[in-house]
Structure 1
Amino acid sequence: MERPRTKNENINDHQHSKLEKLILLARNMGVDLSYEADLIQQKIDEYQTPTVWQRVLMNRDILRPRAEDYIKAICEEWIELHGDRCFGDDSAVIGGIGKFNAMPITILGYRKGKSTEDNIKNNFGMSHPEGFRKINRLLLQAAKFHRPVLTLIDTPGAHSGRAAEERGQAWAISQVISTMCTLKVPVISLFTGEGGSGGALALAISDRLLMLSNAMFSIASPEVCASILLKDVGRAEEVVSAMKITSADLYDLGLVSEVIDEPIGGANRDFDLTVLRVRKSLQKHYDELLSRDIEDLMEERYAKLRRIGVYIES
């Protein structure tokens, strides 16, 4: 049976049709636009099927929608909560309670900025231990009040500075992972941009893992992998295709429950359309999860984690 056409393929056909009409009109007027038409066609093809490296750059684009944008777009009401009740508040982590289609949910994510000043203030979305302790506190609160959880993932990774290590970064991340594994409420994780290292892993333990089509999930950034494997950070573009970090790669590997199509050119090209698709997907998965027995969900969550990876027993 033939594969169903995606929304982006239909849009691409429409763009081809408009380009053909423009070329025909120019010919009727005695104007040769073949060179310009070729350039436009190349740009259409580039947006339609971006390379892995182009997707990396899309995720790092300062114009790409952030966690706060999605929260404002999908929630009728939103209350942000602060602090880990131990050390302080980490602005790289955003968390609180929202109403999604009249249903109270706990939302957790990473906060990136839309300017250099904002990014510095929020540490480029890289959490310190107090950020992970805030996440853990709000997860336990969600379980206490039986609120479903939504995590929004867009981070290069957890902060790896000396102060973070002194305050127990690895322990804080492991606490979140442990809590996510045993949380007795439905959990959906949505990758909206780059998902790197322990920062992404901490919020990716879920019943349903969704990814926007240009989003990524990796053990480390392409630059870090290039520096470790090839001893040359400048060869990041060369190694990124072998890393299998795109939404399509991870769907084929069975890690991703659903890939949500972005508009051609990225989510920022048509954020309203992106939000419409995200809302529809979230409602579908929450309806399914909330109809299930929580003990069965926890068993499936554990089994899904156990299936990750390939190994050989001697």
Structure 2
Amino acid sequence: MKTLVFGNTGQVATELQHHVDVTALDRAAADLCDPAACAAAIKAHEPDVVINAAAYTAVDRAEDEPELAQIINADAPGAMAQACADLDIPFLHLSTDYVFDGSGTAPWSVNDPIAPLGVYGRTKAAGEDAVRAAGGAHAIIRTSWVFSAHGANFVKTMLRLSETRDALNVVDDQIGGPTPASGIADTLMIMAQAMVAGQSGGTYHYAGAPTVSWACFARETFSAAGRTVTVTGIPTSEYPTPATRPLNSRLDCSLLETEFGITPPDWKSDLAKITSEILA
């Protein structure tokens, strides 16, 4: 199965390159600021399946760069999906819990109405719409709180801060499922193979279990790393950011298990391995 991946150095794209017969495109090969070039790259490589693991993910900066975020998160995926539809090959696209407004405490179903709070979430929601509108075989996978031993993520930030600080204040009223990038990559490849074989797609959720707050995630990170750091939980109101974050990022992943047999990952197990890799 010849797999073409958009993204090269991101967390999920890096993990996807551990699989066989994967070609990952960097910015020089396919600039996401040029949707037409992305579509042309797909037609030039003639893959069996395409995975878009690239995105504009600077949540706060997006508030000042809405046009750029729109091109990368919506226009480019739309062009990719259309190229795949033209070639009659599946297209898999990563999305986010940020398409929801974070209200309530119940896990979000794939069919719940979306209501993004900021530019990042709105452009990712627009990307979902563009992928669906292309009319081809596709799968949209919403995920949350991605972490790995590479790239920029919460775990690496916490470990870096713990090198010089023995106490930290961390938000305690945002709840979600930390998700290892390796698990997302494995899930995408399983789904891609099934869709190449003819299985239909749709919109799905994939996130780690159990759900926790950022403060709890920080404590688990320090425990896994064997570092003594006092974590004090604080409300989001005491940690203002340019972009509003959803308080409830719980995702109902049952549809993915029903249709593909894929269950939520145990993020604590992955956290132990990832912290060891980072510290090594």
TM-score band, normalised by shorter chain: 0.3 to 0.5
Structure number having the greater helix percentage: 1
TM-score norm. by structure 1 comes to: 0.34
Higher RCO (CA 8 Å, separation ≥ 6 residues): 2
